Amino acid sequence: MRIACVQLNIAYGNPQENFKKVEEKIRKAAMLNAEVVVLPEMWNTAYDLDRLDELADVDGGQTKSLLSRLAKELHIHIIGGSVSTKKDNQFYNTMYIVNSIGELISEYDKAHLFKLMDEHLYLKAGTNKNIFTLNDVKMGGVICYDLRFPEWFRVHSLAGAKVIFVPAQWPATRVDHWKILLQARAIENQCFIVAVNRVGDDPNNSFNGNSMVIAPWGEVLWVGTDEETIGVVDINIDEVEEVRNRIPVFQDRRVDIY
């Protein structure tokens, strides 16, 4: 499976510019023969939370329309990163997954809200896991701060996910945590981790990319720079079962005591 990781510099509080750029990048990823394209977190507005009532995508309508149209036209699966949405007069940090025939196959609202970036003051947390199937492979998706909760990743891997996607806006000051935690999540869940972070600055934070694709044995297959880029990586899904058979972690869990 060929995966394209789209590392973006997101325009703060400017959805029009961001939608235009995302379309350009998805088209470029398709030209690189990617089967799956992955976007970063909150790419429509960045963390302009004070203006969500003005900027958030109502019911995700614009995002779903764009992703569905491009997926169908370009015959590419899209892991839609996440966008700020307004649903039933509440704001969310929402991930949409669209398959290559343009069908919305999963929708996920970020479960763990990050207080250091004031998410809890503006957004409502989601309550459902995010499991979906692409090319007959079960996959999962979480968002940024979810990375610090290994139990949430384990829920997705126990549900069958062989690839877990992690769109993010992870600040440069803690990028070492980002790298170590991503590698740990891959090793402990014996799955592929595909993590896409943003680059650039907003009024409160700097972001330096370092998007990563990590194999089930913990091998780092690709790391992004601190600039806009599209990283294309070929992964072999069969490696998941090979590693899980080599060290049967899932069989050896002590479900009687935890």
Average pLDDT over residues 94-114: 98
At residue 241, the pLDDT reads 97
At residue 71, the pLDDT reads 98
User: Position of tokens 């590392």?
Assistant: 7
Tell me the per-residue pLDDT of 59-77, one tens digit each, with 9 for 90 and over.
Answer: 999 999 999 999 999 999 9
Catalytic residue among 86, 144, 162, 191: 144
Average pLDDT over residues 33-56: 98
Q: What is the pTM of this model?
A: 0.98
**Residue 204 CB-half CA count within 13 A:** 9
- Rounded to whole angstroms, the Cα distance separating 4 from 228 reads 13
For 74, the token pair is 């370009």
CA angle 238, 241, 245 (to 5 degrees): 145
At residue 183, the pLDDT reads 98
**Residue 141 CB-half CA count within 13 A:** 29
At residue 162, the pLDDT reads 98
- What percentage of the chain carries pLDDT values higher than 70? 100
At residue 121, the pLDDT reads 98
Task: Using CB atoms within 10 Å of the CB of residue 9, give its burial: 0 to 12 exposed, 13 to 18 middle, 19+ buried.
Answer: middle
At residue 242, the pLDDT reads 98
- Give residue 32's pLDDT band: very low, low, confident or very high (50, 70, 90): very high
Tell me the per-residue pLDDT of 133-148, one tens digit each, with 9 for 90 and over.
Answer: 999 999 999 999 999 9
Contacts of residue 9, defined as CB under 8 A and 6 or more positions apart, other chains included, come to 198, 199, 200, 228
- Give residue 154's pLDDT band: very low, low, confident or very high (50, 70, 90): very high
Q: Say whether 110 is catalytic.
A: yes
At residue 33, the pLDDT reads 98
Catalytic residue among 25, 41, 107, 138: 41
Helix (H, G, I), strand (E, B), or coil: what is residue 127?
A: coil
Q: Say whether 144 is catalytic.
A: yes
Domain locations along the chain: 2-246
Question: What does the mean pLDDT of the chain come to?
Answer: 98
Tell me the per-residue pLDDT of 205-236, one tens digit each, with 9 for 90 and over.
Answer: 999 999 999 999 999 999 999 999 999 999 99
At residue 215, the pLDDT reads 98
Which CATH number does the domain 2-246 belong to among 3.40.109.10, 3.60.110.10, 3.40.50.2300, 3.40.50.300? 3.60.110.10
- Give residue 159's pLDDT band: very low, low, confident or very high (50, 70, 90): very high
Tell me the per-residue pLDDT of 160-190, one tens digit each, with 9 for 90 and over.
Answer: 999 999 999 999 999 999 999 999 999 999 9
For 193, the token pair is 């981790």
At residue 191, the pLDDT reads 98
